């Protein structure tokens, strides 16, 4: 069933349009930064963008920092929210279930498709940005944030780690989207509910009054991927971020399973 879901994902034009748009934005930013020669001052604008003028190898990470706060979560919400509700709205859900495909198996396959989309998206964004970065800015040894020097190979390893972390960071949101998707027959409603959860988390993460719950918010550790560019890598927050995502996946996948396996399919 996972193979079937992946084939549906990869044959769907929307998947590739979404990924193309995600990859295009950082390239546009890169071109403007290059032609104007105006990088944001350190500490302003998307993380790491201030550094790319001096080194194209850093551009994949900067590109992910550009899409991470908004565009990537939107894409995950749309794809994830559509996963079950889209089948329901389309009428194909009843045909899959009477094939028969077990409901638990279908959920797992859907989650696998969401995870595949997430990693496919971040990898393509990073590869496109790498190409653009090398062409626009060239390769040089990198100064880490901690002011020691990183070799190009070391930079590459760090970037792979950062990409994996960013993909992993989306899993919680993906699981929330999957759960929302089993609660309604409208993919739009499921996607917007997921976006609401995302925006809500961002808002709560901003204000001082909610400090006590901030370490538990799904978006809290997202930007910690910059810690991979410290020397040595600062693992503490990254590890907590990884564990937190896992908790969200378990909780919302469980909720989606409890809901979906007992539900009357009336679509």
Partner 1 sequence: MNTADVVRTHGLTKQFAGGLLAVDGIDLQVRQGDLFGFLGPNGAGKTTTIRMLLGLTRPTSGSIEVLGHDVARHAHDALQGVGAMVEGPAFYPYLSGTRNLIIFDGAGAGGPRRTRKERVREVIERVGLADVGDRPVKAYSLGMRQRLGLASALLRTPRLLVLDEPTNGLDAQGIHELRTMFVELVREGTTIMLSSHLLAEVELICTRAAMMSSGRIVAQADVAELLAPTGWVRVTTPDIERALRTLQDGPFGYQQVAPDLVRVNMGDRPPELLNRAFVQSDIRVRELVVERPTLEDVFLERTGHGDIR
42 in contact with partner 1 (CB under 8 A): no
12 in contact with partner 1 (CB under 8 A): yes
Sign, CA torsion 156/160/165/167? positive
Instruction: Identify which of 66, 65, 82 has the alpha carbon closest to the alpha carbon of residue 194.
Output: 82
At closest approach, how far in Å is the CB of 244 from partner 1? 34
9 in contact with partner 1 (CB under 8 A): no
Nearer to partner 1 by Cβ, of 4 and 246: the residue is 4
User: HSE of 177 in the Cβ direction (CA atoms, 13 Å)?
Assistant: 30
Q: Which residues contact 110 (CB under 8 A, 6 or more apart)?
A: 5, 83, 84, 178, 181
Nearer to partner 1 by Cβ, of 1 and 188: the residue is 1
Token pair, residue 155, equals 């930079």
104 in contact with partner 1 (CB under 8 A): no
Nearer to partner 1 by Cβ, of 36 and 266: the residue is 266
Nearer to partner 1 by Cβ, of 12 and 140: the residue is 12
Question: Phi-psi region for residue 136, left (φ > 0), alpha (ψ -120 to 50) or beta?
Answer: alpha
Q: Footprint of partner 1 on residues 73-102 (CB under 8 A)? A: 90-92, 94-102
143 forms beta bridges with: 149
At closest approach, how far in Å is the CB of 51 from partner 1? 41
At closest approach, how far in Å is the CB of 6 from partner 1? 11
Q: Give dist(CA 186, CA 191) in Å, integer.
A: 9
C-beta atoms surrounding 190 within 10 Å: 30
264 in contact with partner 1 (CB under 8 A): yes
Nearer to partner 1 by Cβ, of 90 and 210: the residue is 90
Q: Footprint of partner 1 on residues 189-228 (CB under 8 A)? A: none
The binding site for partner 1 (CB under 8 A) comprises 1, 3-4, 7-8, 11-14, 90-92, 94-102, 262, 264-266
């Amino acid at each position: 069933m996972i193979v079937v879901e992946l084939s549906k994902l990869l044959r769907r034009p929307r998947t590739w349009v979404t990924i193309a748009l995600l990859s295009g934005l950082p390239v546009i930013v890169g071109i403007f930064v290059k032609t104007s020669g105006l990088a944001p001052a350190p500490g302003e604008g998307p993380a790491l963008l201030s550094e790319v003028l001096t080194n194209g190898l850093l551009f994949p990470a900067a590109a992910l920092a550009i899409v991470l706060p908004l565009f990537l979560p939107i894409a995950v919400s749309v794809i994830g929210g559509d996963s079950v509700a889209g089948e329901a709205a389309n009428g194909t859900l009843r045909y899959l279930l009477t094939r028969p495909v077990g409901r638990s198996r279908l959920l797992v396959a859907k989650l696998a498709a969401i995870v595949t989309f997430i990693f496919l998206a971040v990898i393509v964004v990073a590869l496109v940005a790498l190409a653009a970065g090398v062409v626009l800015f060239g390769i040089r040894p990198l100064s880490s944030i901690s002011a020691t020097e990183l070799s190009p190979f070391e930079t590459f390893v760090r970037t792979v780690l950062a990409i994996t972390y960013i993909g992993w960071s989306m899993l919680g949101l993906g699981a929330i989207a999957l759960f929302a998707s089993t609660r309604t027959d409208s993919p739009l409603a499921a996607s917007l509910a997921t976006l609401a959860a995302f925006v809500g988390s961002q808002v709560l993460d901003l204000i001082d009054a909610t400090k006590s719950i901030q370490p538990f918010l799904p978006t809290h550790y997202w930007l910690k991927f910059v810690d991979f560019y410290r020397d040595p890598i600062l693992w503490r927050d990254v590890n907590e971020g990884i564990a937190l995502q896992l908790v969200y996946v378990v909780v919302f996948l469980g909720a989606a399973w409890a809901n979906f396996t007992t539900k009357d399919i009336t679509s």
